[in-house]
């Protein structure tokens, strides 16, 4: 599109990420993965980008700059707008048409491609097997006498969370389960309580089939409809990472998955209101998920793909993540203690009381598993914290085993 001085300037898409990775330079990137392109711009441009609202033109932006006593080159700014438009960073009719096509094409697939192969883990099967074997061999063996029925397993970068992943999967490899209910976190978008995928999940190690009969039975039992839009799964890693380990551990076993992204519980947790246990729709979802496994006589293993706290400047805090790691650990210990007791309401209440101020990434899958799977006890397998020095941010994560 050719923008002139009087052309209304489209607003920047709300899902465009902005990061200052280089002092004085902002990097714009597409959080939704519609484009892999990044755009770098001077830091002082950001105010004007955010001032674009679909109505103001560049002359009005120039007036805004004059009032602020700042220099502004209208011609150069329009060149920036042209670049952002070409890359699909602006909220335009052309972008929305492209977005609709992407959604339609993805939803029409019967197999989900491995979105992060070659990015977060090796695309080559032999290299991937070698990486996973190293993680498993480098982690403690599971010495318990009872085979766990469910797990909390991280979804942090596999290389960073290696021991926590390895410890969990060294325990899980003993399971006789044929169906794995995977409860993940929708990092990019959330538009329902449960976002279920009926696609098989492809991996470099082979296909992981989805239990469509289970999903159909579950949907038919519900008294309300769930979305059938699966676009939230397109680039989501929290379930994709777990399918790698499952296919690696059970290359010849007939297994299937029930992949569910669990929507957030903001109205109960982050807003500090509590009362999730009184939500009849949530109760029905949790109850029927467990009931479906029983009615279809599935031998189920539950996996909540979750991380714990996210703190520091990368996550919107004014402080360095490292400065609160001890407080984070104490916070996590309280959560883990409640989780080992399988007391879903006490677990959630700990987060409600602090409005999830340490940004636990996985509250809803954890709570869903504790409510749906009828676990009686749990145990901690591994706990760790990762400090990303360059972004002054930190993440905590853990793996846990649960027993019915």
Residues spanned by the domain of 311 = 111-403
Q: Is the pLDDT of residue 205 over 80?
A: yes
Residue 74: inside a domain, yes or no? yes
Residue 205: inside a domain, yes or no? yes
Residue 4: inside a domain, yes or no? no
Residue 22: inside a domain, yes or no? yes
**Domain co-membership, 78 together with 225:** no
Final residue of a domain: which of 72, 103, 134? 103
Q: Is the pLDDT of residue 1 over 80?
A: no
The pLDDT assigned to 66 comes to 87
Q: Is the pLDDT of residue 288 over 90?
A: yes
Q: What is the CATH number of the domain that holds 99?
A: 3.90.930
The pLDDT assigned to 323 comes to 94
**Domain co-membership, 370 together with 237:** yes
**Domain co-membership, 85 together with 171:** no
Residue 203: inside a domain, yes or no? yes
Residue 3: inside a domain, yes or no? no
Which residue(s) pair with 379 in the sheet? 401
Q: Residue 311: which residues within 8 A CB-CB, separation 6 or more?
A: 317, 319, 321, 324, 328, 358, 359, 393, 394, 395
Total count of domains within the chain: 2
Is residue 21 very low, low, confident or very high in pLDDT (cuts 50, 70, 90)?
confident
Residue 393: inside a domain, yes or no? yes
Final residue of a domain: which of 45, 69, 103? 103
In this prediction the pTM is 0.91
Final residue of a domain: which of 46, 80, 103? 103
**Domain co-membership, 213 together with 301:** yes
**Domain co-membership, 328 together with 260:** yes
Answer left, alpha or beta for residue 275, where phi above 0 means left and psi between -120 and 50 means alpha.
left
């Amino acid at each position: 599109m050719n923008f002139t001085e009087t052309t209304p300037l489209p607003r920047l898409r709300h899902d465009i990420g902005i990061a200052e990775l280089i002092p004085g330079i902002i990097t714009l990137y597409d959080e939704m993965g519609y484009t892999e392109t990044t755009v770098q711009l001077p830091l002082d441009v950001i105010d004007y980008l955010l001032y674009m609202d679909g109505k103001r033109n560049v002359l009005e932006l120039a007036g805004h700059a004059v009032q602020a006593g700042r220099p502004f080159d209208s011609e150069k700014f329009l060149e920036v707008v042209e670049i952002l438009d070409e890359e699909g960073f602006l909220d335009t009719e052309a972008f929305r048409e492209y977005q609709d096509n992407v959604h339609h094409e993805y939803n029409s697939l019967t197999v989900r491609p491995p979105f992060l192969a070659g990015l977060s883990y090796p695309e080559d099967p032999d290299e991937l097997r070698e990486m996973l074997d190293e993680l498993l061999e480098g982690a403690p063996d599971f010495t318990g006498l009872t085979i766990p029925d469910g797990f909390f397993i991280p979804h942090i970068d596999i290389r960073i969370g290696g021991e926590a992943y390895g410890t969990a999967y060294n325990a899980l490899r003993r399971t006789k389960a044929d169906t794995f209910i995977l409860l993940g976190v929708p990092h990019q978008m959330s538009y329902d309580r449960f976002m279920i995928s009926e696609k098989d999940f492809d991996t470099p190690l082979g296909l992981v089939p989805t239990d469509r009969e289970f999903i159909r039975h579950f949907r038919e039992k519900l008294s309300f409809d769930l979305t059938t839009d699966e676009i939230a799964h397109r680039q989501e890693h929290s379930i994709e990472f777990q399918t790698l380990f499952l296919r690696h551990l059970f290359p010849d076993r007939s297994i299937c998955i029930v992949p569910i992204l669990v929507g957030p519980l903001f109205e109960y947790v982050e807003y500090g209101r509590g009362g999730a246990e009184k939500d009849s729709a949530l109760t029905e979802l949790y109850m029927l998920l467990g009931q479906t496994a029983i009615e279809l006589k599935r031998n189920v293993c539950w996996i909540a793909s979750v991380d714990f706290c996210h703190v520091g400047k990368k996550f919107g805090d004014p402080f360095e993540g490292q400065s609160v790691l001890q407080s984070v650990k104490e916070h996590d210990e309280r959560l883990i203690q409640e989780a080992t007791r399988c007391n879903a309401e006490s677990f959630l209440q700990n987060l409600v009381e602090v409005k999830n101020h340490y940004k636990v990434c996985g509250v809803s899958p954890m709570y869903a598993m504790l409510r749906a799977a009828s676990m009686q006890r749990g145990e901690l397998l591994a706990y760790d914290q990762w400090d990303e020095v360059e972004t002054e941010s930190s993440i905590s994560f853990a793996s846990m085993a649960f027993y019915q």
